[in-house]
Amino acid sequence: MAEMHQILLKIGPAAFRIASAWRRPLEELEALYRDFPAPTDNSVDFTVRLEPEKPWRRFIRPSVHIGGDFWLPDAAPLPLGQGLLAAEMGMNLQMALGWRRHLLLHASSVEKDGKALIMTGLSGSGKSTLSAMLAERGWRFMGDEFALLDLETGDLVPFPRLISLKNKAIETMQQVVPENRFGPEMKATPKGDIRHLIPPTAAVARMDEPARPALLLFPRFGHAPELRDMGQSEVFVRLTQASTNYVALGEAGFHALTRFVDRVPTKAMDYQSGEQAEALIQSLWSKLP
Amino acid sequence: MSLKYRAAPKDDLIWHDLDSMTLLFHRPSGITHMLADPAPAIMEVMQDSSLTASEIALLLIAQFEIESAADAENIVLARLEELSGLGLVARVSG
């Protein structure tokens, strides 16, 4: 077997080994995760492997196949220039398919005063961009992709991965964040133009500190600003759809999700700009107990 | 003889009320069901007994003090068949 390079990463409660046939994606990862600690005892939860699709593709028009403990058989390989994206997608895949220690929701989250704001919704809802923006305006960033709910306490556990900015969100964040917190821009990937953003230092320093879920939003970008009530039944169904491991967790997942729906006030939020969203969020946040 | 039905054992079920629906987690299958009225009430009045649709309709009418409806038995029967398809009630022979 050809030589593999590797690095270990600890992000919140999860530890990863990223092994790659090429050095370059790992060098990019190392630079972007420079503030993150290494796993304490070198043990990892998941391995992600970036390998050539065929042995000769290591050198000739190199293309990266994502493998690991969990993998999708039909995942299309990416060009080597998008190796960083492949590593990030590989880590997402391991979490989505393999994580069992928390109830996992496709959601972004930020924290203030020990209370967490969780935002979930379809791709394009703006949840990732909103979390990145709020993280530059006094909130602690907890994650832009997965919200991890503790099965015992119901607390939200941080998972402050690199923030994956897409298309217009890249320019929006470039206006407020210094250049040295960005990864390379990857044009025309299967997910559009992608640029990764390193979370603020405080998000990494406090990535072992959970927070109590205090507000759940279903943001929707591109509609006149409005907050709407949502029925518990609708919220429950949409959260089961937003969870990658609700079914796998069985009874523990049922208890965690019903408790969450019972306790956490929820609104649908339409908005057309970050400023509008921030004002709507502030109006809700100031009324929380 | 009329077909009788029996609800899944109590220990197999976890109930949780939401605003407009009732959640029912079925332990043996690990499936979460979302039930609308009157399905939760039907399962509640069945308790641990084997009952016909007509007996269940009478219990519902008595317990919820609703006026006797001519088609109550047919409504109950339709819901029982749905619940049976979900594995939440079983048809009992005899």
ipTM of this predicted complex?
Answer: 0.91
Query: A87 or A3, which is more confident?
Result: A87
Q: Which residue has the tokens 């987690």?
A: B25
Q: Which of A231, A247, A258 sits opposite B19 (nearest CB)?
A: A231
Q: What is the pLDDT of residues B11-39, one digit of tens each?
A: 999 999 999 899 999 999 999 999 999 99
Instruction: Look at residue A275 and tell me whether its pLDDT is greater than 90.
Output: yes
Q: Do residue A208 and residue A108 come from a single domain?
A: yes
A191 lies in some domain: no
Q: What pLDDT does A184 receive?
A: 93
Task: With respect to residue A172, please indicate whether it lies within any of the assigned structural domains.
Answer: no
Q: How far is A233 from chain B (nearest CA, A)?
A: 6
Could you tell me if B13 and B25 are in contact, meaning their C-beta atoms sit under 8 angstroms apart?
yes
Number of domains forming the structure of chain B: 1
For B55-87, how does the pLDDT look when each residue is reduced to its tens digit (9 = 90+)?
999 999 888 877 667 788 899 999 999 999 999
Domain assignment present for residue B53? The answer is yes
pLDDT, tens digit, for every residue of A139-159? 999 999 999 999 999 999 999
Counting beta carbons within 10 angstroms of the beta carbon of residue A51, is it exposed (0 to 12), middle (13 to 18) or buried (19 or more)?
A: buried
pLDDT band at A74 (very low <50, low <70, confident <90, very high): low
pLDDT at A56: 64
Q: Are residues A117 and A150 in the same domain?
A: yes
What is the count of structural domains for chain A? Answer: 2
CB contact under 8 A, A233 and B16: no
A273 and A139 in one domain?
Answer: yes
The predicted structure's pLDDT at residue A2: 63
Which helix or strand (DSSP H or E) is residue A135 part of? helix A127-135
pLDDT at residue A231, rounded to an integer? 96
Q: Could you say which of B20, B23, B27 has the minimum Cβ distance to residue A258?
A: B23
Q: Is the pLDDT of residue A64 over 70?
A: yes
Considering the domain architecture, whether residues A17 and A34 belong to the same structural domain is answered as: yes
pLDDT above 90 as % of chain A: 81
Most confident among A67-81, A272-286, B69-83 (mean pLDDT):
A272-286
Cβ of A240 within 8 Å of Cβ of B30? The answer is no
Please state, in angstroms and rounded to a whole number, the distance separating the CA atoms of residues A258 and A243.
13
Residue A179 belongs to a domain: no
Q: Verify that A230 and A278 share a domain, yes or no.
A: yes
Residues in chain A with CB shorter than 8 Å from the CB of B23 are 236, 254, 258
Domain of residue B21 covers: 8-87
Q: Is pLDDT above 70 for A228? A: yes
Give A151: exposed, middle or buried? Use CB within 10 Å, 0-12, 13-18, 19+.
middle
Is B92 domain-assigned? no
Note whether A12 and A145 are same-domain residues: no
Judged against a pLDDT cut of 70, whether residue A288 lies above it is answered with: yes
Q: What is the pLDDT of residue B1?
A: 59
Q: Evaluate whether residue A176 is within a structural domain.
A: no
Residues A120-141 pLDDT 10s: 998 888 999 999 999 999 999 9
pLDDT digits (tens, 9 = 90+) for A24-37: 999 999 999 999 98
Could you tell me if residue A34 is inside a domain? yes
- B29 part of contact set with chain A, CB < 8 Å: no
First to last CA, chain A: 58
Same domain, yes or no: A257 and A226: yes
Pick the closest to residue B90 from B48, B61, B60, B54 (CA basis): B48
pLDDT of residue A80: 84
Chain A closest CA to B18's CA: distance in Å? 6
Residue A209 lies in a domain: yes
pLDDT at residue A262 greater than cutoff 60: yes
Q: Is the pLDDT of residue A174 over 70?
A: yes
Whether residue B2 is contained in a domain is answered as no
Distance in Å, alpha carbon of B33 to nearest chain A alpha carbon:
11
Whether B73 is in a domain gets the answer yes
Strands (E), A70-211: 78-79, 102-112, 115-120, 140-143, 146-150, 156-157, 163-166, 186-189, 192-197
The whole-number pLDDT of residue B71 equals: 83
A87 and A138 fall within a common domain: no
* CA A141 – CA A207 distance, rounded (Å): 9
Whether the Cβ atoms of residue A165 and residue A132 lie closer than 8 Å to each other? yes
Cβ contact A126:A182 at 8 Å: no
Mean pLDDT of the residues in chain A:
92
Q: Do A21 and A87 fall into the same domain?
A: yes
- Is residue B94 situated within a structural domain? no
Q: How near does any CA of chain B get to the CA of A49, in Å?
A: 32
In a domain, A184, yes or no: no
Q: Which chain A residues in 223-242 lie under 8 Å from chain B, judged by CB atoms?
A: 231-233, 236-237, 240
Q: Residue B23 is nearest to which of A236, A247, A250, comparing CB atoms? A: A236
Min Cα distance A269 → chain B (Å) is 20
Tell me: do A142 and A61 sit in the same domain.
no
Using an 8 Å CB-CB cutoff, list chain A residues near B27.
251
Pairs across A and B, CB distance < 8 A: 30
pLDDT at A198 over 90: yes
Residue B68 within a domain: yes
Q: Based on the domain organization, do A75 and A122 belong to the same domain?
A: no
pLDDT average, residue stretch A207-224? 97
Residue A121 counted as domain residue: yes
Whether residue A72 is found in the same domain as residue A206: no
Q: What is the mean predicted confidence (pLDDT) over A182-197?
A: 92
| CATH code, A154 | 3.90.228.20
What domain range is A136 assigned to? 102-161+199-285
Point out the domain boundary residue: A98, A115, A148: A98
Q: How confident is the model at residue A66 (pLDDT cuts 50, 70, 90)?
A: confident
pLDDT reported for residue A204: 97
* Interface touch B18/A232, C-beta < 8 Å: yes
Backbone angles phi, psi at A21, to 5 degrees: -70, -20
